[in-house]
Amino acid sequence: MKIIVKNFIEKPINAQALSNRKLVYGAGTNDAPYATQPMLSGTRVKCPYYTVWDNMLKRVYYAKFIIRQPCYVGTSIHKPWLSFMAFRAWMETQQWQNKVLDKDLIDPGNKHYSPLNCCFIEQSLNNLMTINKRTKGKYPAGVTWNNNNKQFVARLSIDTKRVYLGDFVTEQLASNAYLEAKANHIIDIAYQQQDVRLKAGLLLHATKLMGEIV
């Protein structure tokens, strides 16, 4: 979820209100000395730091979410980050505005939210790294069937545009074309990064994709 600051105002709360708070998703402690989800002109607003923290906890501790998104099974959180204010202290050191929290770009396959593995990235980059499961749908990611010429078509999405990669006589050839094109695109993006951790992580993802080519 992209987080945008909309003039959120921190209104202090008293010790009694703070002590009455329950654990968030049964695990997180909202220890902010201010109201993190106040009502403003009849609308509930959220602290932008709290929104990111809440969404992170949901992916790890909210059973209904995990059922819908089983890829989060086994995901964990750096223990100090179960404190909202501890997480906020880290987040304040990051360039997070208009970006999303990511846990596995730097370390492909990582399932642990921590300062070592997490970073904030552009939504477009997050979309690029979202690779559809090969079992989703009838054909592999990036591959469709053209009934007119009885061939398989490979396409790659770049900046919301679908780029045609060609028609192929076999599903595997089309999949290979997609994997190679996506890996090369990720490499191009990698060399545009100033953060060396992002660059290294992207190159690892590209190498992983290349390794899937048969």
Q: Please indicate, yes or no, whether residues 56 and 70 belong to a single structural domain of this protein.
A: yes
Range of the domain at 46: 1-121
Domain boundary among 95, 121, 147: 121
pLDDT tens, residue by residue, 143-197: 999 999 999 999 998 888 899 999 999 999 999 999 999 999 999 999 999 899 9
pLDDT tens, residue by residue, 22-32: 999 999 999 99
Q: Which whole number is the average pLDDT over 41-61? A: 93
Task: Give me the pLDDT at residue 3, please.
Answer: 43
Q: In percent, how much of the chain has pLDDT > 70?
A: 94
> Buried (b) or exposed (e) across 56-86, using 16+ Cβ within 10 A?
bbbbbbbeeebeeeeebeebebbeebbbbeb
Largest CA distance in the chain: 71
pTM of the model: 0.84
Domain boundary among 63, 93, 121: 121
Query: Bridge partners of 151?
Result: 146
Q: Please indicate, yes or no, whether residues 92 and 195 belong to a single structural domain of this protein.
A: no
Q: Please indicate, yes or no, whether residues 102 and 139 belong to a single structural domain of this protein.
A: no
Q: Please indicate, yes or no, whether residues 57 and 160 belong to a single structural domain of this protein.
A: no
Do the beta carbons of residue 190 and residue 203 sit within 8 Å?
Answer: yes
Structural domains counted in the chain: 2
Q: Token pair 């945008």 is at which residue?
A: 4
Task: Give me the pLDDT at residue 9, please.
Answer: 86
